[in-house]
């Protein structure tokens, strides 16, 4: 993603890459299209010495990214998070930091959650009630692991961790948590429903939208639908005049209407997020309240003493649910204290954290922020 962003920005007349960082020096050697005066470094903090207007964080880490972003915001630099893991885990806290410093923190514009929020905003501005924000998942295997997806990861030029998280549904849950927490949406059931359909338009017959409306709108997904790469929103209007015109515009008789965007282009759309910050001083997506969380379940039977791998590993997959259980973004490096069967829930009481784990202080700070905002 980082290399892709640089490739896209080289064609821009109003933006320039001034610095790039990666802990892997070999990865930096593969970066092309950098201006001659750009800083290339393995120390991420060094990029701030170039006084960028915007930092794009695309690492996929959680605690490392959170600490870098906090430092960046202290320097009054805007941040775009292409890193959905840190975005979902600590984005609420980081957005508060940004507001305090008079800068903007936002999710990226091109991944599913960013594209979905843009679609939702368009549908709402046309006067429709949002009933569902929907993702289209191509393939799902809750028990995928870095060995089982090795060939697929190589074909798609993904790390084993990334590809596993995409395949086992964790990334899907993270994206939909971001959408729900930004758009104030709910869910029909723990883990979402995710019916298999042939075409995204079949979603109009696959869900109980009356129940979804009663919940104030929900997030969910369809599985294996065409067009692949699409996202959709279900809008509602029972206004007879509006229904006449929607039927005239070939959108159906209603009262439920499907608004589908047939693609999301990730790094190709990152410039939209950057320009929205610089030109309009507005974010694409910011979590307003942690309505939904990404908890975790065991992929295999686990014994006490197991050091958990976290997202994209052999041990756990992420599940979209109401807050309360241990978030999967907090699990890496923790030690399991109790036996767990496959598909069992992992709770806070089930693990021991490393001593002085910085995630705990960030989590406490975010929890206190959430509590104060509800008073």
Query: DSSP code of 44?
Result: G
Per-residue pLDDT of the chain (375 residues; tens, 9 = 90+): 899 999 999 999 999 999 999 999 999 999 999 999 999 999 999 999 999 999 999 999 999 999 999 999 999 999 999 999 999 999 999 999 999 999 999 999 999 999 999 999 999 999 999 999 999 999 999 999 999 999 999 999 899 999 999 999 999 999 999 999 999 999 999 999 999 999 999 999 999 999 999 999 999 999 999 999 999 999 999 999 999 999 999 999 999 999 999 999 999 999 999 999 999 999 999 998 999 999 999 999 999 999 999 999 999 999 999 999 999 999 999 999 999 999 999 999 999 999 999 999 999 999 999 999 876
pLDDT at residue 375, rounded to an integer: 63
pLDDT at residue 53, rounded to an integer: 97
Rounded Cα distance between 45 and 43, Å, is 6
Rounded Cα distance between 271 and 266, Å, is 10
**Angle between the N-to-C axes of helices 63-74 and 358-374, in degrees from 0 to 180, rounded to the nearest 10:** 60
Sign of the Cα pseudo-torsion (209, 121, 106, 9, in order): positive
Rounded Cα distance between 54 and 49, Å, is 13
pLDDT at residue 368, rounded to an integer: 96
Give the list of residues 6+ apart from residue 189 with CB closer than 8 angstroms, or none: none
Cβ density class 247-276: b for 16+ within 10 Å, e for less: eeeeeeebbbbbbbbeebebbebbbbbbeb
pLDDT at residue 374, rounded to an integer: 72
Residue 280 parent element (H or E): helix 270-280
Q: Which two tokens stand for residue 52?
A: 């960028």
Closest-CA residue to 1 (of 140, 174, 9): 9
Phi, psi of 260 (to 5 degrees): -115, 135
Assessment of whether the complete model's pTM goes beyond 0.95: yes
Closest-CA residue to 184 (of 256, 264, 121): 121
pLDDT at residue 373, rounded to an integer: 81
């Amino acid at each position: 993603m980082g290399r892709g962003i640089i490739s896209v920005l080289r064609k821009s007349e109003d933006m320039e890459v001034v610095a790039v960082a990666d802990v892997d020096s070999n990865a930096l050697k593969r970066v092309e299209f950098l201006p001659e005066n750009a800083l290339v470094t393995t120390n991420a903090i060094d990029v701030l010495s170039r006084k960028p207007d915007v930092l794009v964080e695309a690492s996929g880490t959680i605690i490392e990214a959170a600490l870098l972003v906090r430092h960046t915001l202290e320097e009054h630099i805007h941040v775009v998070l292409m890193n959905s893991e840190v975005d979902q885990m600590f984005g609420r806290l980081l957005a508060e930091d940004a507001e305090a410093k008079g800068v903007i923190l936002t999710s990226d514009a091109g991944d599913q959650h960013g594209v979905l929020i843009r679609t939702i905003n368009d549908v709402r501005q046309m006067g429709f009630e949002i009933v569902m924000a929907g993702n289209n998942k191509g393939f799902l295997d809750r028990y995928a692991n870095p060995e089982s997806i090795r060939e697929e990861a190589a074909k798609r030029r993904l790390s084993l961790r990334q590809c596993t998280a995409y395949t086992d549904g964790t990334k899907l849950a993270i994206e939909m948590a971001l959408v729900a927490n930004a758009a104030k949406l709910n869910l029909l059931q723990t883990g979402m429903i995710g019916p298999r359909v042939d075409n995204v338009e079949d979603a109009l017959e696959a869900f109980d939208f009356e129940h979804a409306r009663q919940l104030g709108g929900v997030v969910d997904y369809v599985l294996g639908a065409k067009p692949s790469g699409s996202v959709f929103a279900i809008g509602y209007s029972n206004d007879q005049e509006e229904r006449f015109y929607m039927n005239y515009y070939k959108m159906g008789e209603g009262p439920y209407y499907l608004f589908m965007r047939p693609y999301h282009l990730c790094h190709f759309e990152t410039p939209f997020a950057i320009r929205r910050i610089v030109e309009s001083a507005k974010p694409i997506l910011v979590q307003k309240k942690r309505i939904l969380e990404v908890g975790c379940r065991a992929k295999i039977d686990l014994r006490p003493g197991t050091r958990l791998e976290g997202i994209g590993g052999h041990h756990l997959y992420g599940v979209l649910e109401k807050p309360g259980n241990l978030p999967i973004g907090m699990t890496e490096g923790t030690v399991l204290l109790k036996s767990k069967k496959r598909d069992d829930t992992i709770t806070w009481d089930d693990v021991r954290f490393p001593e002085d784990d910085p995630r705990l202080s960030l989590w406490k700070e975010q929890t206190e922020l959430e509590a104060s905002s509800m008073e």
